[in-house]
Chains A and B, each alone.
Chain A
Amino acid sequence: MNVRLEGITKSFLGVTVLRGVDLELRAGEVHALVGENGAGKSTLLKVLAGVHRPDSGRILLDGKEVSFGTPRDAHAAGISIIHQEFNLLEHRSVAENVFLGREPVRRGQVDRRSMEAETRRLLDWLGVGTIDPATAVARLSVAQRQVVEIVKALSADAGVLAMDEPTAALADHEVELLYALVGRLRERGMAILYVSHRMREVFDLSRRITVLKDGAFVATSATGDITSDQLVRQMVGRPLEALYPERGNAAGDVRLALSAAGNGRVRDLTFEVRAGEIVGLAGLQGSGRSATARAIWGVEPFATGSVAVDGVPVRVDRPRTAVRAGIGYVTEDRKDEGLALRQSVKDNVLLVRRAALRGAAARRAADLTELLESVTVTARGPHQEVRYLSGGNQQKVVLGKWLAVEPRVLIVDEPTRGIDVGAKQAVYRLLRDLAGGGVAILMISSELPELIGMSDRILVMHEGAVAGELPAGASEEAVIRLATGHGIGDAA
């Protein structure tokens, strides 16, 4: 199916979110939609899905103008959307989810058998026969749930499939599977709109790329005709000369020292992080990167070995002792673990200080006025609830929460996940400034360019242990070799 959006304009309460956006999707094409947060990608998707009715502009399906009053209309016209947060009923089976709302009926009863048979057929066609149509969705992994969403779209005979950040929640090897699925859907003649922040995916998968900025259409280019630098420039509207700030001077004293530390998930960890240093922690999903952070942090404490902060041995058995030992931890899951979303910016920034410190320690903590100003990123000030902030600004609040207690060691786990290029740059600068101020930083990231760009040295983990150490500016190949279990000797 071919879709044409022409001059789509949409505003909410006087704020124009989309201004005259054009987009054309052709059958059998993967079309990437990119732009910074707030560029209007989600709103455009929702217009296409019939959630929002455009103020002006036209939607043409195979040349015929259509108007969607409700998501149901759009769905009936063959448009399916897979949102970041899936629309699945966890306690129902795969087949029941696929046929939700249009269950086949036989003799007055839902025909479970034909539902499951059809679901099985579609799963097989996609090449993921390992999923049982009768399994409850609650038992499936995130990647498998995504497959269920895709089957749902297939079974509804969708001609257009829009995917919003489909890889945000996937592990590296699961992304490969998604690539394969997208390939099959394309061959079938589906038009696929692919929204992503990840440059590599955009270039691997798409045939054309459309860039939005501030709600306006910037350009549509054939993927082969544009470089990733040019694309980033179109997105931010200015060249990003130095995405990563310059590295600091020589490292200072040892702040964090692990010695033969281990627990059920990691073993024999011996390394140091010095004041002023950013040490990268690389590795595949499940290699023990986050487990290391969570052990240092006391969520799943080390069972053996020792940890010292500034030369003083500390026994961290829960986050509270970690905070009091001067360690901070920015979790990878901002919404579930990092923020109290209904509370204000100020209350979130003060959360650690109030929750974990008492008396003298609390009084010694950082001056708030300046800190609040630096993380208060909206016109509405420090009393705004953080749920109304964008991902990038929320992340600044999470960082602010730790800055308020002036940690000596800061562990950051995926600090730029799901935030746009501009906000990423701000986070990088903030981390480098902190290091410059004498904080020892341990940084975990799945994005290798970021890890390599930021780290003063990189520890690579493999199967729960440190497989090797690489200097600043190591190649991606060298990191991957260590992470996949090839010796450092091969890397040379």
Chain B
Amino acid sequence: MTWRPRLADGTAPVLVVLVVLLVALAFAGPAYAEPAGYLALLKRAAPLMILAIGQYFVVVSGGYDLSVGSLVTAEVVIAARLVDGDDANTSWVIALLLGFGVLVGLVNGLITTKLLVPSFIVTLGVLLVLDGAVFLWTGGAPRGALSPSFRTFGRGGIDVPVLGQVPWSVLILLVVLVAAALFMRGGTGRTLLAVGDNDTAVRLAGGRVDRLRLIAFVLSGLLAALAAILLAGFAGVSAQVGNGLEFRAITAVVLGGVLLGGGRGSVVAAAAGALSLEALFSLLNLLGVSGALESAVQGLIIIAAVAYAARGTGLRRVLQPREPEPVTS
């Protein structure tokens, strides 16, 4: 068997969209005349891309994770309070934040798999619980502050020959993306896809379906914590920092051609979906469209992307009766 590059089903459109947007940016704004402009875009997009990668694991295994937005908020608020402006606190707080992400993922995953509550409901509930808890704890205004070393991950960079200064967040994103892509190529990742497609078949093949689903939620929680660390440094501390991010991540994943309900899609495409979304917002901004329209645009995108996917399969069914003819069999 010779190796040839393959695109997962449904991946091609998002790559086209992304390229078109990136080219359009170059025409629309002078900042995009050189690589630095695109690096800044990547830096801005990194938290959403990381969230989309986490969301991808859950969606592709047949679920949703709506808790990530308020998890991001909770993480940021906790970080500010615990770091309290002191560099000495940075490392243990980061460890604790990642641990909290894992914990929320475990809760989501265990309730979904053991109590058989649909993930849509479980994570919606966790979203509300985290929201309420943050509000109760902060009274609406977060206390404390981040330390300079904490903020480096979201703001700072490292000097790289040729490219100039590369933001830490972009490097972290690349590591996450490569690790996620490798994971999805491996046995566990492929089995996770199969779970989203037909969990009975996986169970009868001796697979541990519950454990795989749990892994997906834990990865989503962990990556949400990571995104929160980057966002906190980049955007600062507020009790609204994570608002709406869960839907933005789901929009990104759908835009990446990942099938809601599971079983199809690539993680790289999901990340590309997030980058496209961010590029689109930048473009609209450059064209002078009000930022208030962002959520309306996002709403249209998610409907259009799902409609496109549905139309795609519908058309295919008309054009190619399944070869040769399994129905009569």
Contacts and interface: CB of A to CB of B under 8 A. Distances in A.
B263 A340 contact: yes
7 contacts: A37-B324, A37-B326, A338-B204, A342-B9, A343-B194, A351-B194, A354-B188
Contacts, number: 137
Nearest to B319: A13
Contact of B205 (A12, A43, A351): A351
Contacts of A299: 204
Contacts of B327: 42, 83-85, 164
B200 interface: yes
Interface of A: 12-13, 17, 37-43, 45, 83-85, 164-165, 195, 197, 297, 299, 319-320, 322-324, 329, 331, 336-343, 347-348, 350-357, 362, 369, 372, 378, 381-383, 385, 387-392, 394, 401, 418-420
Contacts of B114: none
Of the listed residues B6, B188, B327, the one surrounded by the most CB atoms of chain A closer than 10 A to its CB is B327
B320 A338 contact: no
Contact of A329 (B6, B204, B319, B324): B204
Contacts of B187: 350, 353-354, 362
Chain B interface SS verdict (over half): loop
Contacts of A372: 1
A325 to B, nearest CB: 10
Contacts of A42: 321, 325, 327-328
A394 B6 CA distance: 22
Nearest to A331: B204
B329 interface: yes
A389 B323 CA distance: 6
B206 interface: yes
Contacts of A40: 325
B264 interface: yes
B119 interface: no
Contacts of B207: 320, 351, 354-356
B260 to A, nearest CB: 13
B329 A352 contact: no
B194 A420 contact: no
B31 interface: no
B202 interface: yes
B311 interface: no
A390 B324 contact: yes
List the 3 closest pairs (A to B, CB-CB), nearest first: A356-B206, A355-B207, A38-B324
B56 to A, nearest CB: 16
A341 B321 contact: no
Contacts of A420: 329
Contacts of A337: 200-201, 204
